[in-house]
């Protein structure tokens, strides 16, 4: 659902509301609400699980609503407020049963299932909602999942929704039009056609009246009046009695659309007819012309005051257009039946009438031909012969057995179509006809049998239209729509994943820092030390998983430099060989004179290791892994989304089982894995794809069942020279720290663990929970020797704080600490450290800062 509101970033006024940062207008409302009047209680006392879930949903661009507690207290984001329409903002903070009373039973079941720890998913779920002061039929895709509290028990239910009303309504309208076309096809008179049309349209739109009329010489004759509970107006009325709207529309032939009001029963019949015509729910001109002063009219009236939707008006107009063609055909057939006894007799005895018909047919742009019961052509227009010559290379002649003019396989199809028409069937079909060397367009062909007065079939005719361009356009539209849906899905997942991973980095930082401090101090017993080491290893694994999530979301903090890829691959060979095991051999080839690549060396090493592990799993019985590093050139359109230019290509090719096309297409999807439950996260290739995309490169996957898999990483060539491998030996012992460190972070636990590390290095630490607080400390006399600050914080960012302090102390060392890839506003020369981190990593950054 597109956003129709100005997206703003909410800045919380107080630290306890920091979890609402960046949440938009709804987050601002949540901050202002008096939650003590709800079962949730004061916002300051909310549990962390509720705050975290609220923080995530408020930042999401897709509509999300959370129902908290047994009462289902509603919290939602800006996108959901658009869906709620006129019910917003009263819905915010209300119980879901009271907020949406018209679907209370449905939501009762949602709460029951969700609080029991189960999920629900609905596709095109139909509901009747009151969003704009009236009942409204809507369809939605709904996904419900439980939200767990700190004890791991379900405390609420979260719903991600997408409204599909427009698509479902369009599909239903299309199905109705197809069914109506099928119902009208065998009908022979305009009266029968309008009888079926009026009844079907009234049922489809739930209209109180649908009537068909003919207008001629200032009079309107209502021939069919399908009504439910309203007086019939069948008969002839003066056109003036139906009011000026209809008169004005009748003369130029334009449609009429008026608003509906109830008819007054006290008026006379003719006056009531005039009121009806002036205030009918939808009055649409069918535009059926037989002679200069004849027109047909189709009208639809609602039983109660209502506003017709554009889709309903479009449906009525579409019905009118289709009925026009059917009525024209029926009138032409009636005229033809009246003028002809047999097709052969018409050619011999009624030349004048045939000439008139021939002139009409010749004036038609669509190819038309008539044939007898022996499949011989008896008449055709110039358009038919011209199109036949275009795709077959020769002309047709009267007397030709038409199917015999086609290629053998096409002749069978054409004879089958003609046989159906000669059996009395009227139908429309599509098929390709022509010579391959001249083009084989797809034709939409309509067949109609010709009968004598006794009803016996004496022949048939068809008219055809080349629909090749329409089919191509339709296919391109479907492909574009599918690509858009995939792009929106990946963007939404990337946004949600990146936000969650960022929060996890903040949670892991104090965990890893505290465990690292315990491990370094060595105060625990041997058993306790093993437990600490085990916990630290698990935390490091969690850190790796978060890095993969950020890589998929293209938000991992990268430090791209000029990398000597040849040296990097050589240094990785031993580790990869150990990972592969004894049953897999490895072959490495590197092209000479390779330029340096623009990359993050650590992330590139992790990507290579991931590809090696995937290759190993694809060769359970052993095989060969080949790593090739080459220089490649990407031209315009050669490399998908990559810009044309020079690249260093690192290709990993295994001789394993390979992938079919369906698996290859999904290979980079997050959490998609063919390894089975518990054997992989499904994030490896997603991480690699996100990494190269973030660097401005690309990823290619070539694979086939039984032929192995080749995955190539295209890395942009760097304009700078490759740096040598910087060695940092025992950063902790070499760090010489003196003076006062100003530490700024809005997360209390992160700030506390970082302060302990800095104190352990010999710094006197002054803490601040925001950039504004830090500036206040400096204003009161604090003179820091070092600034260590988080970047993304409510209010002023860490980079902005650094600029403010450097304005007074240009030589002030600054270290930016962050768990996100937010490079906007951060100068390249500012030293950065990625969350989570250990003491030695902090020490190494401070050492590099002192040396720089």
834 vs 616 pLDDT, higher one: 616
| Residue pair 820/505 in contact by the 8 Å Cβ criterion | yes
Q: How confident is the model at residue 776 (pLDDT cuts 50, 70, 90)?
A: very high
Distance (Å, whole) CA 363 – CA 452 = 25
Task: Kindly report the number of other CB atoms within 10 A of residue 557's CB atom.
Answer: 21
| Six token digits for residue 683 | 């994030």
Report the C-alpha dihedral over residues 130, 135, 138, 140, rounded to 10 degrees: 30
CA distance 731 to 316: 78
Q: SS3 helix, strand, coil % of the chain, rounded to 5?
A: 45, 25, 35
Numbered ranges of CATH 3.30.450.20 in the chain:
15-163, 340-470
Per-residue model confidence (pLDDT) at position 449: 93
The CATH number that domain 15-163 falls under is: 3.30.450.20
* Sole residue written with tokens 């709207």: 245
d(CA 459, CA 370): 7
pLDDT of residue 284: 40
CATH 2.60.40.1120 is the classification of domain 340-470: no
Beta strand 209-216 with 282-288: parallel, antiparallel or unpaired?
Answer: unpaired
pLDDT (average), residues 17-32: 91
Instruction: Give the Cα separation of 392 and 436 in Å (integer).
Output: 9
Residue 99, pLDDT above cutoff 90 = yes
Angle value at C-alpha 218, between 216 and 219, nearest 5 degrees: 70
The structure tokens listed for 90 are: 């009263």
Contacts of range 342-351, beta carbons closer than 8 Å, 24 or more positions apart: 342/452, 342/458, 343/370, 343/372, 343/378, 343/450, 343/458, 343/459, 344/372, 344/378, 344/458, 347/378
Residue 371 clears pLDDT 50, i.e. is over it: yes
DSSP three-state, residue 448: strand
- Residue among 792, 753, 834 nearest 511 (CA): 753
Reply yes or no on whether the pLDDT at 235 is more than 80.
no
Compute the average pLDDT of residues 557-563: 69
> Which two tokens mark 158?
């979260």
User: Band of the pLDDT at 264, cuts 50, 70, 90?
Assistant: very low
Q: Residue 367 burial (CB < 10 Å; 0-12/13-18/19+)?
A: buried
Tell me the CATH number for domain 565-716.
3.30.565.10
Provide the 8-state DSSP code for 640.
Answer: T
The residue-averaged pLDDT of 98-111 equals 94
Residue 456's SS3 state is coil
Q: Tell me, what's the pLDDT at 282?
A: 39
751 close to 777: Cβ distance less than 8 angstroms: no
The number of CA neighbours under 13 Å toward the Cβ of 243 is 16
Tell me the pLDDT band of 715, cut-offs 50, 70 and 90: confident
Following DSSP, what letter does each residue of 728-786 receive, concatenated?
---HHHH----SEEEEE-S-HHHHHHHHHHHHHTTPEEEEESSHHHHHHHHHTT---SE
pLDDT at 2 over 50: no
**Secondary structure of 256-306 in HEC code, one letter for each residue:** ECCCCCCCCCCCCHHHHHHHHHHCCCEEEEEEECCCCCEEEEEEEECCCCC
Token representation of residue 563: 């990398």
Bond preceding residue 836 cis, omega within 30 of 0: yes
Closest CA to 838 of 467, 570, 543: 543
Helix (H, G, I), strand (E, B) or coil at 589: strand
Calculate the alpha carbon distances from 71 to 27, 34, 37, 93, 705 in Å: 21, 17, 13, 11, 53
Long-range contacts of 466-471 (CB under 8 A, 24+ apart): 466/387, 466/441, 466/442, 467/430, 467/441, 467/442, 467/443, 468/441, 468/442, 471/442
Q: Which helix (H) or strand (E) segment is 834 a member of?
A: strand 831-834
Task: Please check whether residue 786 is in contact with residue 809, taking contact to mean a CB–CB distance below 8 angstroms.
Answer: no
Indicate the burial class of 211 (C-beta count within 10 angstroms; 0-12, 13-18, 19 or more): buried
Q: Is pLDDT at 100 greater than 80 in this prediction?
A: yes
> Average pLDDT, stretch 498-520?
69
Alpha-carbon distance values, 761 to 485, 673, 732, 834 (Å): 52, 44, 8, 19
CA-CA distances (angstroms) from residue 734 to 383, 743, 815, 838, 840? 91, 22, 18, 16, 11
Q: Element (H or E) spanning 599, and its range?
A: strand 597-599
- Across 658-717, the runs of DSSP E, i.e. the strands, are 698-703, 709-716
Is residue 207 scored above 90 in pLDDT? no
The CATH 3.40.50.2300 portion of the chain extends over 731-851
Q: Is the pLDDT of residue 181 over 90?
A: no
Report the Cα 24 to chain-centroid distance in Å: 22
Q: Which residues pair with 629 in a beta bridge?
A: 590, 650
- Mean pLDDT computed over 638-646: 73
CB contact at 8 A, 536 and 514 = no
Mean pLDDT of the 178-206 span: 80
Q: What percent of the chain has pLDDT over 70?
A: 71
DSSP three-state, residue 704: coil
pLDDT in tens, 585-640: 989 998 988 888 888 777 787 788 788 888 888 888 889 999 999 998 887 665 56
Residue 657: per-residue pLDDT:
84
Model confidence band, residue 375 (pLDDT cutoffs 50, 70, 90) = very high
Q: Is the pLDDT of residue 22 over 50?
A: yes
Q: Which residue has the higher pLDDT, 846 or 302?
A: 846
Which stretch of 27-36, 480-489, 754-763 has the lowest confidence by average pLDDT?
480-489
| pLDDT, mean of residues 839-851 | 78
- CATH 3.30.565.10 domain position(s) in the chain: 565-716
How many CB atoms neighbour CB 240 within 10 A? 13
Of 664 and 85, the structure prediction assigns the larger pLDDT to 85
pLDDT of residue 459: 92
Q: Which of 570, 667, 657, 663 is closest to 615 using CA atoms? A: 657
DSSP H/E element including 650: strand 645-654
- The residue with greater pLDDT, 344 or 816, is 816
pLDDT grade, residue 701 (50/70/90)? Answer: confident
Strand order in the sheet with 294-301: 235-238, 219-227, 209-216, 294-301, 282-288
Tokens of 763: 């710094």
Give the β-pairing of 219-227 and 584-590. unpaired
Cβ atoms of 713 and 699 within 8 Å: the answer is: yes
Residue 298 backbone phi and psi in degrees, to 5? -120, 125
Supply the pLDDT for residue 420: 94
SS (HEC) of 218-270:
CEEEEEEEEECCCCCCCEEEEHHHHHHHHHHHHCCCCCECCCCCCCCCCCCHH
For 202-216, 394-408, 439-453, 618-632, which range has the lowest pLDDT when averaged over its residues?
202-216
CA pair distance 786, 737, nearest whole angstrom: 10
A 10 A CB-CB count for 238 gives: 12
Task: Give pLDDT, residue 302.
Answer: 64
The whole-chain average pLDDT of the chain stands at 78
Query: From the CB of residue 280, how many other CB atoms can be counted at a distance below 10 Å?
Result: 27
Task: Quote the tokens at residue 387.
Answer: 């199109």
pLDDT tens track for 54-70: 999 999 999 999 999 99
Range 438-463 average pLDDT = 90
The confidence score (pLDDT) of residue 612 equals 85
Number of H helices, E strands in the chain: 25, 27
**Of the ranges 304-318, 451-465, 592-606, 789-803, which one carries the lowest mean pLDDT score?**
304-318
User: Is 70 exceeded by the pLDDT of residue 724?
Assistant: no
pLDDT of residue 571: 81
More confident residue, 238 or 256: 238
Contact 43, 95 (CB under 8 A): no
- The mean pLDDT of 481-501, rounded to a whole number, is 64
Q: What is the mean pLDDT of residues 374-390?
A: 89
For residue 226, pLDDT beyond 80: no
The CATH H-level superfamily of 170-329 is GAF domain (3.30.450.40)
Length of the chain: 852
**Per-residue pLDDT tens for 119-163?**
999 999 999 899 888 788 899 999 999 999 999 999 999 999 999
Whether 501 shows a pLDDT value over 90: the answer reads no
Superfamily the domain 731-851 falls into:
Response regulator (3.40.50.2300)
- State mean pLDDT over 427-454: 90
Compare 345 and 397 and report the one with higher pLDDT.
397
Count the neighbouring beta carbons within 10 Å of the beta carbon of residue 692.
Answer: 26
pLDDT band of residue 259 (cuts 50, 70, 90) is very low
Tell the residue number behind the tokens 């010579």, with chain if given. Answer: 435
Percent of the chain whose predicted confidence (pLDDT) is above 90? 27
Closest CA to 197 of 310, 333, 290, 330: 330
Comparing 7-21, 225-239, 383-397, 793-807, the range with the smallest average pLDDT is 225-239
268 has a pLDDT exceeding 70: no
pLDDT surpassing 80 at residue 560: no
């Amino acid at each position: 659902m597109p956003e129709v509101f100005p997206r703003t970033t909410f800045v919380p006024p107080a630290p306890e509301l920091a979890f609402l940062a960046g949440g938009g207008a709804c987050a601002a409302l949540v901050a202002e609400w008096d939650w003590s009047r709800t079962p949730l209680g004061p916002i300051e006392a909310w549990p962390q699980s509720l705050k975290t879930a609220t923080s995530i949903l408020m930042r999401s661009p897709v509509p999300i609503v959370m129902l908290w507690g047994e009462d289902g207290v509603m919290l939602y984001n800006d996108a959901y407020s658009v869906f709620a329409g006129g019910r917003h903002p009263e819905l915010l903070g209300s119980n879901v049963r009271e907020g949406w009373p018209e679907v209370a039973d449905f939501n009762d079941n949602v709460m029951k299932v969700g609080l029991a720890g189960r999920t629900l998913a609905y596709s095109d779920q139909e509901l009747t909602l009151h969003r704009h002061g009236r009942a409204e039929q809507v369809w939605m895709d709904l996904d419900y999942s439980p939200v767990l509290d700190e004890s791991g028990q379900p405390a609420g239910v979260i719903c991600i929704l997408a409204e599909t009303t427009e698509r479902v309504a369009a599909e239903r309208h299309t199905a109705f039009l197809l069914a109506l076309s099928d119902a009208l096809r065998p009908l022979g008179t305009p009266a029968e056609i309008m009888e079926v049309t009026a009844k079907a349209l009234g049922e489809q739109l739930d209209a109180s009246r649908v009537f068909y009329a003919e207008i001629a010489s200032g009079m309107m004759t209502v021939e069919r009046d399908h009504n439910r509970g309203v007086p019939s107006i069948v008969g002839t009325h003066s056109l003036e009695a139906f009011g000026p709207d209809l008169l004005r529309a009748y003369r130029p032939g334009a449609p009429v659309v008026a608003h509906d009001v109830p008819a007054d029963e006290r008026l006379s019949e003719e006056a009531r007819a005039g009121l009806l015509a002036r205030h009918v729910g939808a009055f649409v001109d069918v535009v059926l012309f037989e002679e200069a002063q004849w027109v047909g009219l189709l009208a639809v009236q609602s039983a109660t005051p209502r506003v017709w939707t554009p889709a309903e008006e479009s449906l009525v107009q579409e019905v009118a257009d289709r009925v026009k063609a059917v009525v024209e055909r029926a009138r032409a057939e009636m005229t033809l039946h009246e003028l002809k006894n047999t097709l052969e007799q018409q050619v011999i005895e009624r030349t004048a009438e045939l000439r008139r018909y021939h002139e009409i047919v010749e004036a038609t742009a669509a190819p038309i031909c008539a044939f007898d019961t022996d499949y011989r052509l008896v008449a055709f227009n110039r358009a038919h012969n011209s199109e036949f010559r275009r795709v077959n290379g020769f002309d047709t002649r009267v007397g030709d057995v038409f199917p015999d003019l086609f290629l053998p396989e096409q002749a069978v199809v054409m004879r089958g179509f003609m046989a159906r028409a000669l059996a009395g069937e009227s139908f429309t079909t599509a098929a390709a006809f022509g010579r391959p060397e001249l083009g084989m367009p797809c034709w939409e062909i309509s067949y109609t049998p010709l009968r004598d007065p006794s009803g016996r079939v004496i022949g048939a005719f068809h008219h055809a239209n080349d629909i090749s361009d329409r089919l191509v356009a339709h296919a391109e539209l479907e492909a574009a729509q599918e690509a858009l849906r995939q792009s929106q899905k990946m963007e939404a997942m990337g946004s949600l994943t990146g936000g969650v991973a960022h929060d996890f980095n903040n949670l892991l930082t104090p965990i890893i820092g505290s465990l690292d401090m315990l491990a370094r101090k060595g105060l625990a017993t041997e058993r306790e030390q093993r437990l600490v080491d085990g916990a630290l290893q698990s935390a490091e694994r969690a850190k790796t998983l978060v890095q993969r999530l950020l890589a998929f979301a293209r938000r991992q903090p990268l430090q791209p430099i000029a990398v000597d890829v040849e040296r990097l691959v050589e240094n990785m060979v031993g580790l990869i060989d150990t990972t592969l095991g004894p049953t897999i051999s490895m072959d490495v080839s590197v092209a000479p004179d390779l330029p340096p690549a623009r990359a993050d060396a650590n992330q590139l090493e992790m990507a290579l290791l991931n590809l090696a592990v995937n290759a190993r799993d694809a060769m359970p019985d052993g095989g060969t892994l080949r790593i090739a590093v080459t220089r490649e050139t990407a031209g315009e359109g050669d490399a998908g989304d990559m810009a044309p230019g020079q690249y260093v290509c690192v290709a990993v090719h295994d001789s394993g089982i390979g992938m079919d096309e369906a698996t290859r297409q999904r290979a980079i999807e997050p959490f998609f894995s063919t390894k089975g439950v518990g054997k992989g996260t499904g994030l490896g290739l997603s991480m690699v794809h996100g990494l190269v995309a973030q660097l401005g490169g690309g990823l290619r996957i070539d694979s086939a069942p039984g032929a192995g898999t080749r995955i190539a990483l295209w890395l942009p060539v760097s304009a700078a020279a490759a740096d040598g491998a910087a060695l940092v030996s025992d950063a902790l012992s070499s760090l010489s720290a003196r003076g006062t460190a100003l530490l700024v972070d809005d997360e209390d636990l992160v700030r506390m663990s970082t302060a302990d590390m800095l104190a352990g290095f010999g710094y006197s630490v002054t803490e601040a929970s925001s950039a504004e607080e830090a500036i206040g400390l400096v204003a009161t006399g604090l003179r820091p020797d070092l600034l260590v600050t988080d970047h993304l914080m409510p209010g002023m960012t860490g980079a902005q704080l650094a600029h403010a302090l450097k304005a007074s102390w240009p030589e002030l060392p600054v270290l930016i600490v962050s768990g996100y890839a937010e490079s906007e506003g951060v100068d390249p020369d500012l030293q950065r450290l990625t969350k989570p981190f250990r003491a030695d990593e902090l020490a190494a950054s401070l050492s590099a800062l002192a040396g720089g």
